[in-house]
A and B are shown apart, each in its own frame.
Chain A
Amino acid sequence: MASFLLIVQSTFTLKILLLILAGSLFGMIVGAIPGLNTTLAVAIAIPITFYLEPVEALALLSAVYKNGIYGGSVSAVLLGVPGTPAAACTVRDGYAMAKKGQAKKALDAALYASVFADVVGNTILILTASWLAQFALKFGPSENTLLVVFALVVVSLVGSSSLLKGLLASIIGLSLAMLGMDPMTGSPRFTFGNINMLSGVTLIPTLVGMFALSEIFVEYSNFCHAKAEGKSVDVPQDKKSRLSLKEFFSYWRTLIRSSLIGVFIGALPGSGPSTASFISYSMAQRSSKHPEEFGEGSVEGICASEAANNGVCGAAYIPLLTLGIPGDTITAIMYGALVLQGITPGPLVFTQQGDMITGLYVTLFICSIFMLVLGKILCRTLTNVLNVPKGILFPVIMIICFAGSYSMNNTMYDVLVMIIAGVLGYIYKRIDMPIAPTLIGFILGSQMERSLLQSLIKSENNLSIFVGSPIAIAFVIIIVLMVGSNFWKLMKAKKQK
């Protein structure tokens, strides 16, 4: 205990606190800029860690990471553009609330849910890291395939008013993932001899295009109509709207469930925060008392999505630290940073580097506190963006989206992808087809192909591998039950008509 206090004391140095402050601010701002994602923010912070102690380096990177994921929700609420793919679900309710003038309340919900899930994630990381890691290793190719199928089924069954539109949207997403190099051998598909097409449809530009650019088109269309009718399209913001803690905690069921989904998905190598937030959002809608509010501006929806994607952050450290297996690109960068510090993550890190791990745990909680305080200040300032007339705001957003899309890979091809995705997103919005299933299909498409082929190779084309383990059987039962109950509901509704 004395040594623990000593470590805590040594962690609370001015340098570490300043690093966390700077990292949090930087992460939040980069996360909030459409097109720039958290991976880029963390990568930019790497050269700074060359000159830091291990705990300091981890503190800086964790601050950038967690706040970057949170920052994505700020632009999701204010501009209708998810700053990171993980915030795509937050857009539906957050932006709807901002349109009604309740942006402050939506931002509060996103912030509180993020901090809540962050604390849950950190606690679980500390208590059960090695146990969860062993469980995660049991996820072979067949279990991964079923997890992807499960995510797709959940999202397309629940996300949309019409079952068919949801399914079509997710299969379009899956087909976007088949362009470019195939995930197994890298052999080109549908490239038509153009080398740029090898990278296929790039995720971030697609995200920016489908959400942001299409929104500019929609708003311009609204503007032309409003002009013809002599109305204004600018919505005054309700300055007093805020979320009371009492209301926030009335969603405790959703919060806890979403955080746990986030932690679970985060512990699996290879699945990221977007999957978690999509699944948890759909589950929340399924079990909510007011499912009709989802998509129209439901605080519960924001909580579900944000709690899940921030729950992932804490859990992402589990495979990283205990197995030395980074689960996604961001933790892969952190792995690189740790190696540069002379630390090898893996089974021995807890015994050999125990002090560093304890220091890391302490800094993770400091990060949560900074997130709460900074988020509160940032929200207050940034809500003013909505008071800018749309005629000025949207041209500026267009430029930012353009710059953000370009800078991911420094190529104009990505900008073209963004423009095409923008037109596609506009068509989606006009035929009332949900964008979310397309996005999740796209994100999971190559993962699904890879794990499906891997399972078939492993079992020599024998489909029984999909019921070959207890986890796989559980997944199959859940999927069948979900589809069945949906059909049952559909039949019942038809009979009543």
Chain B
Amino acid sequence: MEKKDRIKLKGLVTVPGIAVGLAIAAVYLVLTLLIPSQVRMTQGHLTNARLYPYFVCICAMLLALGFALTFRKNEFTFDLGIWPMVLASLMLYFGTKTLGFYTSSVIVIAYMMLMWNNRCWWKILLTSVLTPVSIYLAFTVGMRIFMPTGILI
């Protein structure tokens, strides 16, 4: 009982609605302020490349403020306990850049399966080898799409 509560509570973050709304509004405020430096003026008095960004950013800011006010009493819960999966996707991303796609996918599958509490070694071995092999067959042999390689394949 005690252990369950500890695990359940670990990593849970509760944020009030007003904070979520204000955070979104802040992002759009920054974007609006960046428009003059990040969007080059093009031809056209009104019909230039800045019309749409200004329109969208200001609308979004107003809506986000409305969101903050309407949902200020609501609370939203985020589970930070998902970090092993975020880490897995980043491992795959950086692993592909250095080691190559196939090697790092073997590693990442094994890692994810361990995280999902698989302890049967032959299942892990089989899945982590068969998946890249079938991807190779389908993508490279079948459709001539080459996956990125690093120092390994």
Q: Per the CB under 8 Å rule, do A and B touch in the complex?
A: yes
Whether B49 and A452, one on each chain, are in contact in the complex, defined by CB atoms closer than 8 angstroms, is no
Q: Which chain B residue shows the least CB distance to A446?
A: B52
Which of the residues A33, A165, A392 comes within 8 Å of B123, measured between beta carbons? A392
CA of A50 to CA of B57, assembled, Å: 48
Whether A178 and B145, one on each chain, are in contact in the complex, defined by CB atoms closer than 8 angstroms, is no
A223 at the B interface (CB under 8 A)? yes
Q: What are the residues of chain B within 8 A of A228 when measuring CB–CB?
A: 3-4, 7-8
Q: What are the residues of chain A within 8 A of B115 when measuring CB–CB?
A: 220
B31 at the A interface (CB under 8 A)? yes
Whether A391 and B113, one on each chain, are in contact in the complex, defined by CB atoms closer than 8 angstroms, is yes
CA of A419 to CA of B89, assembled, Å: 7
A190 touching B66 in the complex, CB below 8 Å, given contacts A407-B145, A461-B47 = no
B151 at the A interface (CB under 8 A)? no
A225 at the B interface (CB under 8 A)? yes
Whether B139 and A403, one on each chain, are in contact in the complex, defined by CB atoms closer than 8 angstroms, is yes
Whether A412 and B148, one on each chain, are in contact in the complex, defined by CB atoms closer than 8 angstroms, is yes
Q: What are the residues of chain A within 8 A of B20 when measuring CB–CB?
A: 431
Whether B39 and A190, one on each chain, are in contact in the complex, defined by CB atoms closer than 8 angstroms, is yes
For window 9-65 of B, CB contacts with A under 8 Å fall at 17, 20, 24, 28, 31, 34, 38-40, 42-47, 49, 51-53, 56-57, 59-60, 63-64
Q: What are the residues of chain B within 8 A of A406 when measuring CB–CB?
A: 96, 101, 147-148
Whether A168 and B63, one on each chain, are in contact in the complex, defined by CB atoms closer than 8 angstroms, is yes
Whether A185 and B77, one on each chain, are in contact in the complex, defined by CB atoms closer than 8 angstroms, is no
Which of the residues B59, B88, B132, B144 comes within 8 Å of A398, measured between beta carbons? B88
CA of A449 to CA of B49, assembled, Å: 9
A128 at the B interface (CB under 8 A)? no
B103 at the A interface (CB under 8 A)? no
For window 178-236 of A, CB contacts with B under 8 Å fall at 178, 182, 184-185, 187-192, 213, 216-217, 220-221, 223-225, 227-229
A332 at the B interface (CB under 8 A)? no
A178 touching B88 in the complex, CB below 8 Å, given contacts A220-B116, A415-B93 = no
| Residues of B in contact with A, size category | 35 or more
A398 touching B108 in the complex, CB below 8 Å, given contacts A44-B143, A164-B66 = yes
Q: What are the residues of chain A within 8 A of B77 when measuring CB–CB?
A: 430
Which of the residues B39, B45, B93 comes within 8 Å of A189, measured between beta carbons? B39
A412 touching B89 in the complex, CB below 8 Å, given contacts A168-B64, A175-B31 = no
CA of A389 to CA of B119, assembled, Å: 13
Whether B81 and A224, one on each chain, are in contact in the complex, defined by CB atoms closer than 8 angstroms, is yes
Which of the residues A165, A224, A391 comes within 8 Å of B67, measured between beta carbons? A165
Which of the residues B42, B52, B60, B123 comes within 8 Å of A171, measured between beta carbons? B60
For window 381-412 of A, CB contacts with B under 8 Å fall at 389-392, 394-396, 398-400, 402-403, 406-407, 410, 412
B135 at the A interface (CB under 8 A)? yes
Whether B43 and A190, one on each chain, are in contact in the complex, defined by CB atoms closer than 8 angstroms, is no
A172 touching B139 in the complex, CB below 8 Å, given contacts A189-B53, A452-B52 = no
A427 at the B interface (CB under 8 A)? yes
B85 at the A interface (CB under 8 A)? yes
CA of A171 to CA of B143, assembled, Å: 37
Question: Chain B's nearest CB lies how many Å from the CB of A234?
Answer: 11
Which of the residues A182, A185, A398, A457 comes within 8 Å of B89, measured between beta carbons? A398
Question: Chain B's nearest CB lies how many Å from the CB of A339?
Answer: 23
List 20 interface pairs A-B (beta carbons < 8 Å), by A numbering.
A164-B66, A164-B70, A175-B53, A182-B39, A188-B40, A189-B53, A190-B38, A192-B38, A213-B89, A220-B82, A220-B115, A224-B81, A394-B116, A399-B131, A402-B101, A406-B147, A407-B139, A412-B148, A426-B82, A430-B78
Listed from nearest, the 9 A-B pairs whose CB atoms lie closest are A391-B116, A395-B112, A182-B49, A228-B7, A221-B79, A449-B52, A407-B145, A217-B82, A395-B109
Known A164-B66, A228-B7, A399-B92; 5 more pairs at CB < 8 Å: A171-B56, A182-B52, A184-B49, A223-B116, A390-B116
Which residues of A pack against B, CB within 8 Å?
Answer: 30, 33, 40, 44, 162, 164-165, 167-168, 171-172, 174-175, 178, 182, 184-185, 187-192, 213, 216-217, 220-221, 223-225, 227-229, 389-392, 394-396, 398-400, 402-403, 406-407, 410, 412, 415-416, 419, 422-423, 426-427, 430-432, 445, 449, 452-453, 456-457, 461
